Amino acid sequence: MIAARNEEERIHLTIEDILAQDYPKELTEIIIVDDHSTDNTAKIIAGYANRGVKLLQLNEAEPLNSYKKKAIAKAIGMSTGELMVATDADCRMGPKWLSSVVGYYEAGQPVMISSPVIFFEEKSLFERLQTLEFSFLIGVGASFIGNKRAWTCNGANLAYRKDIFYEVGGFTGIDELASGDDELLLQKVTEHFPGKIGFLNYKDAVVYTHAKSNLKSFLQQRRRWASKSTKYKDKKVIAFAVMIWLFNMSMLISLLLSFFNQAFFQVFITQFVLKCFIEVVYLYPICSFFNRTRLLRLYLVVAPLHVIYMAYLGLMGPSRKYQWKGRLVK
């Protein structure tokens, strides 16, 4: 299932990749919900009707808090299958993607499956820097799930049982936020079914998407992601996130204070070296999994920028409005 809005440029590639899956066609149902697109997205989707692609168009007269959650809920309600597999309208995947997800589901019977996502086809240094940072986030999500404390995932590659979606109340309680159709749902599921969520660390299950082309769209995206933090319920997860933010803030404060007292510069250097060591050791196996170890050469560029970025998100992310798909939301 896919929620799509103004994706005429790439959605045909996503649909072609899904149609090319090696999973039996008679066991596959493809539902794409058009979220009030103002371009040719709906027309392109409709062109695949004779190949089994179902188009559902939202027609909401009243403004909604989250159009994407509404679209996904509509797709789930329309579906006839047992396992819901979600991706985005601008993603690419290999032919064994769906069979990998279903195989993992049949083998272990998890109620929800998070699978890897990575940026690709980067056209600039800025986009490659995003890929390295995003790889870290995917690794964090996998680590928490592996330690039975599911916290974060990515809706571009997420699967869950249809009955479980309804059993946890769907998006009720988290529908006032435009974002959060992925990790906030994940947190609802893990609250009711602890230890029943899996991460599929299989290369054939990787979904590919694109980094943001400019700083403005990047910050809008990350504000959107940060806005979900106000709904986190797991106090240990919140404490971990706050601890990371405080560490990065303390680095900035140490650097500023070093202009008045040189001793603080030594504190900053110690903190920065510690950060670099931990993150490089952590990133290496993640980049190896994605066959992108060359990205680690950019780490010393990412690291200082990441300190500023983390401080900015903590201060501005949860409280600022942002643009998403041509809409001003919060």
CATH of the domain at 14: 3.90.550.10
Across the range 117-136, mean pLDDT stands at: 96
Across the range 304-321, mean pLDDT stands at: 77
Total domain count, the chain: 2
Q: Residues 229, 294: one domain?
A: no
Q: Residues 298, 175: one domain?
A: no
CB burial of 111-146 (b: ≥16 within 10 Å; e: otherwise) equals: bbbbbbbbbeebeeeebbbbbbbbbeebbbbbebbe
pLDDT for the residue 85: 98
Q: Residues 233, 271: one domain?
A: no
Q: Residues 64, 176: one domain?
A: yes
Q: Residues 215, 158: one domain?
A: yes
Q: Which two tokens stand for residue 11?
A: 């959605």
Q: Residues 222, 270: one domain?
A: no
Q: Residues 104, 242: one domain?
A: no
- pLDDT above 90 covers what percent of the chain? 76
Q: Residues 52, 179: one domain?
A: yes
What is the distance between the alpha carbons of residues 190 and 184, in angstroms, rounded to a whole number? Answer: 10
Select the more confidently predicted residue: 209 or 62: 209
pLDDT for the residue 185: 95
The answer to whether 268 and 281 have CB atoms below 8 angstroms apart is no
Q: Residues 190, 245: one domain?
A: no
Letter for the amino acid at 3?
Answer: A
pLDDT score of 45 more than 90: yes
Domain of 21 in residue numbering reads as 2-237+316-329
Q: Residues 53, 91: one domain?
A: yes
Q: Residues 101, 193: one domain?
A: yes
> φ, ψ for residue 174 (rounded to 5)?
-125, 10
pLDDT score of 151 more than 80: yes
Q: Which residue, among 155, 158, 184, has the nearest Cα to 170 in the 3D structure?
A: 184
